[in-house]
Amino acid sequence: MLKKINIIFYLLISSFAFSQSIQSTVDSTQIKIGSQFNLTIKANVSKNDKVVFPESPFFGQLEVLESYPVDSIKNNDKLELIKKYGLTQFDSGRYVIPPLQVIINNKTTRTDSFAIVVNNVVVDTTKQQMYDIKSIIHVDKPTDYFWLYVIFGIILILAIGYIAYLLIKKKQVKKNEEEAILYASPIEKALAQLQSLEGKELWQKGETKAYYSELTDITRYYLEEAVEIPAMESTSNELFETLKNTVKRRKIKLSQDILDKFKRVMSNADLVKFAKSKPLDFEIENDKKMVDAFLMSLDKAIPRTEEETENLFTEELKRKKEHSQKLKRLFIPISLVLFLLLLGAVFIGITKGTDYVRENWLGHNAKSLLNEEWVTSEYGDPAIIISTPKVLNRINDERIQNNLPSHVKAIANFTYGSLLDNFSIALATTAFKDTTSVDLDRIVEVKLKQMELLGAKNITVKNEDYEDAKGLTGKKAYGTFTAMNLIEKEDQQMNYEVLVFSQPGGSQELLLIYKNDDEYAQQIMERVINSVELRKTTEK
């Protein structure tokens, strides 16, 4: 967080605080293409100081033709060291010599930066034969088969998942055939459910009706499975009559006393559920014991063949195991497919780059912001009014406010994004205590120096007077630069635009940066610029 604050501070701090410690000069700020000009660096040091001057084949985009030997001039106990460089550039345009590092006793000091204009050589077209400009040759864009490979990859991954499903299912079927499996019988299921019911302690908590409902349901389910009567759809009386007839028809040796006790439990349950009866604790416990005795007695009395007995013991456990195996057959292949898809996405991200993944898979950030509802707000004093995808954040830095020049009343800074995002916006306003006017060209120069301090390299600059359709006038600088992408570990090409406006008593500055190959970010910046309006210092 502290590093981010420092970056924003250096990006937005006003030009009034800019200073350097050693002397550097150039003998010309305008040259013709290929002409040499000289950069001179002077350092006043003592005789024992160790000084290391910069050495590089290029200073920014300017080529070092010659690095002259260090000259020295004695001045009492001081020594003035003079280092001279011959520089040039073979393309026209405006170039910047960035601040250079001079190391004095292991302490780094930076030189001033200088803007150099390289002019075209005038060609006499009356003496040189001219040719017509050739028409543009349209070249068909090569077919991109990448998405075809992606589709084939997805089909292959799904096929692997399906094969895994079939293999697991085949293994499970074979294992089931080889194993001798025992399954729970209806009576074991009923007893387990009764034990679970007691664990809930419903009637102890006052939920007597819920307790009797679950108690009778467990009994009814057992009767449907064990003696095959429609117990769940019958009333208590109907159930009892059907049970008596079934016991008689199937010659089940069940005593009348057990049947009467079961009937009494069902009657007590009906009273609790429908007549809101409240039996005593010992009565509830007796009813539970009667149900246990009834189920055990009935299960023992049911006549079964040896084959029926075996089937009853295997039915429930078989159902449980089949359910577990089905979950396993689905879970393992689905997990495998998801893992392979994630692995493929990571591979594409590495080979094609994060921009490709963001634009084609995750949705383009700049494109989504372009289509969202924008916010029109008024920032600073004197205010600048602009429309942006998101509200700009105010930067509150005490170091700026506590180090204002005497004639400055206030400085306000607002930002969105950062130097290496697809696009970023920095806005600053300065209010003076009087009608001080500022040099707009100087503000542009300082903005470029601040970008260099933040890591911008190879800056190209074009300056022009700015005037829009609404009559708004000021200065505009624009161009390109390169900056290191910390994620992809390589330089990326960025575009920038600087708009500065001045009026008696204040100034307004707008810095826009966007990625060179991002058409949606460029559209955002054009829309921001077209929305700019200024609030005059006299307006309240």
Find tokens 């199937």 and name the residue.
250
- pLDDT at position 88 is 93
Report the phi/psi class of residue 122: left, alpha or beta, with left for phi > 0 and alpha for psi in -120 to 50: beta
The predicted structure's pLDDT at residue 363: 47
Contact between residue 213 and residue 265 where contact means Cβ atoms under 8 Å apart: no
Q: Give the fold, CATH level 3, of 365-534.
A: Protein Transport Mog1p; Chain A (3.40.1000)
Long-range contacts of 43-47 (CB under 8 A, 24+ apart): 43/80, 43/81, 43/83, 43/102, 43/104, 44/75, 44/78, 44/79, 44/80, 44/81, 45/78, 45/79, 45/81, 45/104, 46/77, 46/78, 46/79, 47/77, 47/79
3-state helix, strand, coil in the chain (%, to 5): 40, 25, 30
What is the pLDDT at residue 4? 44
Nearest one of 78, 79, 85, 90 to 64, comparing CA atoms: 85
Token pair in block for residue 160? 């692997």
User: Which pLDDT does position 487 carry in this prediction?
Assistant: 52
> pLDDT at position 86, please?
94
pLDDT tens digits, residue range 70-99? 888 887 778 889 999 999 998 888 899 988
Domain ranges of the chain: 23-119, 186-303, 310-352, 365-534
In whole angstroms, give the CA distance from residue 394 to residue 386. 14
List the beta strands (DSSP E) in 60-184: 62-67, 71-75, 78-88, 93-97, 101-104, 107-110, 114-119
C-alpha radius of gyration, the chain, whole number = 44
- What tokens were used for 229? 């009567």
In the chain, what is the straight-line distance between the N-terminal and C-terminal CA atoms, in Å? 36
Q: What is the pLDDT of residue 64?
A: 92
Give me the residues of the chain with pLDDT under 70, please.
1-21, 122-144, 176-184, 304-319, 352-367, 418-422, 435-437, 469, 471, 484-489, 536-540
Nearest C-alpha neighbor of 380 from the set 530, 503, 524: 503
pLDDT at 361: 55
pLDDT of residue 117: 92
Helix axes 281-301, 186-200, angle to 10 degrees: 170
Homologous superfamily in CATH for domain 23-119: Immunoglobulins (2.60.40.10)
pLDDT of 137: 61
**What is the 3 state secondary structure string of 503-537?**
ECCEEEEEEEEEECCCHHHHHHHHHHHHCCEECCC
Residue 367 — φ and ψ, nearest 5°? -65, -45
